[in-house]
Structure 1
Amino acid sequence: MSLEKRLKEFAGFVGLTSYDIKAYVALVENGPLTARDLAVRAGIPTSKVYSVLHRLFRLGFVEIDDKKRPELFYAVSPMDVYSKIMQRFSDYINSIRPLIDSLQLMYESAYRGKVAAQSEVLYVVRGLDSTKEFIIKSMGYGNVDIATPYVELLDHRILSVIENISRSNEVRLLITQDLIDHVKDLPPRIHIRMRDKLFGGGSIGTDGVVLVIKHGTDYISLYSRQDYIIDIAKTYFNYLWNSSSAPPR
């Protein structure tokens, strides 16, 4: 591919116009130029050359010596331009990662059983309703561990899901003592233990882990399907479970 075609391809990729590229290449080839000289050498209309140069300045492609009259325009080193472009793309890619993770969670939920989990970071969830949805999502279809000091996480819907899962899987429910009346009607096959206090709550199931804390009246939760995070959560849950007591039945 010729240099001209490669430059046009590059211009389209980074959002530059043909005039932008012509101006920058002319400065690279000829050294510092006034706007008038640049317009002649690059074949840019004089009515457009200043807007082109100032756009290139904002993008970091050229520098301006405004102490001289007329102003002189200098090309920034192509390697420096390359580094700036790479940094901008890197910053942009990093900035959209939370969006991609959110879409990935939606995708995995819609294609349950057809794809493996690919999200690599914790997904932050705010609000009680969203927290409940992710707790139910995390349970999946296998064994479930749940811990909560919050009565709001023991509503009819969540308790119904727990009861249904317990028909064919082991369910362990860890609560604070003040919540015992809210789970007394659960079937005996659900293992229940209680503690005086719990710092926060959460659930661990076949579809991930949710960690929940309540800040004032707001709920903030973290959801993940990463194996190492699930393993940490299981280890901590087992520690709490083994040091808790069973309620009277």
Structure 2
Amino acid sequence: MVNEHALTVSLEEFGLSNYEARAYVTLVAKGTISASELAYYSELPRTKVYPILLKLEKKKLAIISKSKPRMCTSIAPVDAFDDIIQEQINKVNAMNTLVTNLKKMSEDSKKSRGAVEKRYFDLSANAVLSQLRTMVEGSKSRIYIMVDQWGLGLLAECKDQMLTVLRRDLEVKIIIPPSLLGSESIKAIPDGAKIRISDIIQNCFIFDETELMLIDSNNGKGAIFSSTEILGVNQMKVFSHVWKNSMKIDSLYDMTKSEAQEVYRIIRLVNEDALGHILNASLVSKNHDIDMLEFLEKNGINLRSKSLEELITIIDSSLQMVCSGRANLEPGTKNITIESRMNSGHSLPWAAIITGYLQKQGHRPRLVYQNQAHKGEKVHIKINS
């Protein structure tokens, strides 16, 4: 059944008053009726009916008989609204032409100023994950990612798509903030993806260097850009710079979150607060008896309670992260070798931690430092009782 109220409202949009619209709908529904019947069926005031009919007649929507009682009939809708519809079509066409001309004027103005309008696509929070899965699975060559906790959580939900692209030997690089070391979301990332840590404050996904997705962790919304534009080019440069200066975390994969966070805290303390002092004492005064354990303990890190094997594991993981080095406890001989692929004494603070630990255990370690020119450096620690 046709909703007469809805028809009335629609007629008002054509310029009819509410009374006129109600009267016309009633005439269409009832056919030829008297003015009093029209007032009854359309629930109009009797005193208003005749003036309303005259207005409808003037608008060529109704016919009023000359005889009494006055009878009224609606003009067929097709005939009644043909002119009105054509008028509306003409208005829409004129408006489209106006908008087209204004748009052309705007584009010409921007071109004259060296500016070109580009488009991007907004994504609602509910649509981000689905779109991310689609873009991950559709990648052809490489995916570069910088994410915070929110972004890593979304990426973890794309595990199946990640597996698909990794099986196709795509290059996948991910940079996360240090606070996420050891988190469950990292463990959800499939093997084959390269993960590093750095201070990250955004969620940025770069696909094949041609598409860019940004996600706002505050509201979950996202946006997609063509990364061939200046924004994408800049993001690629930012990613490359951050990746170059970030830390590898392969050595921490099998650790618990507390263990991984402890290693990172030690690295930060050594790099930010102790390195300069250690280098000065070791290279200038040749004094290797610096109490690094006490320095770490003052900053909340207790290594004395750990076994030598546990300590070597921590040092080994740290060296892999900061200088692509290794720490190795030679079985049987109890000799320890520390290697760094970087020169300038990067291995010495870590050697000082081990020698300090051994001294606390009652040993008299002997340390030999070797600088291998451009090949890095080695420190040999011989454990003497």
**TM-score, normalisation: structure 2:** 0.33
Bigger Rg, which one: 2
